[in-house]
Amino acid sequence: MLAVDGPLPDDDGHGYEWKWDGFRGCARVADTGEARITSRSGSDHTHRYPELRDVFGAALGGHAAVLDGEVVALNAAGRPEFELMQRRAMHEPTAKLRAEVPVVYFAFDLLRIGSEPLLDRPYEQRRELLAELLRPADGRLVVPPFYTRADLSPDQLLATAREHGIEGVVAKRLDAPYLPGARSPLWTKRALTQTREVVLGGWRTGAGRRAGTLGALLLGGYDDDGSLVYLGDVGTGFTDDALDHLRDVLTPLARAASPFATEVPRERARGAHWIEPALVGEVVYRRVTPDRRLRHTAWRGLRPDRTPDEVRAP
């Protein structure tokens, strides 16, 4: 279930959670304790997080269950940091990398216990059942708190998020069912930075220190007709490690012509290396122009937990 963007409702009918900066994942846990973590598109990502495989069984006390949550990497202050998740996404999860960048599963919803689906239960009840059922044995599995207006107002929560570097706040109707695959106004999110998922359609060679390597990525998203629309480019925010990784993953996707259905401005298309639109990334941006171009963009990283057909043009 996905949230819509908007101002946070301020009433007694909503619960409020922090918006975690990681990779969304459902954990499907058998009564044997065997667990599988799948992305929003249903892809199996269990192999990316081997340190999480054995944390669910003991915490669930032998119950089979389906959890919704976020896989996050915590910084030294104990807060989720997307850039650390990118290190995990760019490399195989070796023992050294797992020690340097451990991940944690934040479980924030309970969708099933044993053979009983909970999708039609109210959010407040699912949250209470989650807190009763899940007994994490160590810090690899966390049930983060949720609040009501009696605890803190939405404005206070946003101010706290801003102070502590948390991505934002999500408001969820206390009586809301869980609607799989739906982006519903029953959930409303307010992020403190504007981010957008984008499809990579090409790249341009850099200049100066980045001569001979990647200078900018050409970005797109799908419109209501299913056409890939050009949304602009991004040329900042890359680490050296990210540039090396992008070169490795972009090279095999080369194609002769632009994948975009709309025209790419001549100065952007000149010398472009076109690629198959098979990769999803994420950028920070300041605004969207009337012609649907992202302005003042910076690269955040690849999103292996997303598929291109999920990415919509603004």
Q: Would you state the pLDDT for residue 56?
A: 96
Structure tokens at 20: 């975690």
Structural domain boundaries in the chain: 2-191, 195-310
Helices (H) and strands (E) in the chain, counts: 7, 18
- Mean pLDDT over residues 150-155, rounded? 95
Please report the beta strands in 241-297, taking only residues with DSSP state E, as ranges in sequence order.
273-274, 280-284, 287-288, 294-295
Catalytic residue positions, numbered? 19
Cβ atoms 114, 65 nearer than 8 A: yes
Q: What is the C-alpha end-to-end distance of the chain, expressed in Å? A: 20
* Three-state DSSP state, 48: helix
Q: Coil, strand or helix: which one is 8?
A: coil
Residue 232 has pLDDT above 80, yes or no: yes
User: 195-310 in CATH: which number?
Assistant: 2.40.50.140
pLDDT of residue 209: 72
Split at pLDDT 50, 70, 90, the class of 136 is very high
Top-confidence residue, 291 or 128: 128
Whole-model pTM: value is 0.80
Closest CA to 168 of 180, 178, 179, 160: 160
Q: What fold, for 2-191?
A: D-amino Acid Aminotransferase; Chain A, domain 1 (3.30.470)
In three-state form (DSSP H/G/I as H, E/B as E, the rest C), the secondary structure along 113-171 is: ECCEECCCCCHHHHHHHHHHHCCCCCCCEECCCCECCCCCCHHHHHHHHHHHCCCEEEE
Query: Is the predicted pLDDT of residue 286 greater than 90, yes or no?
Result: no
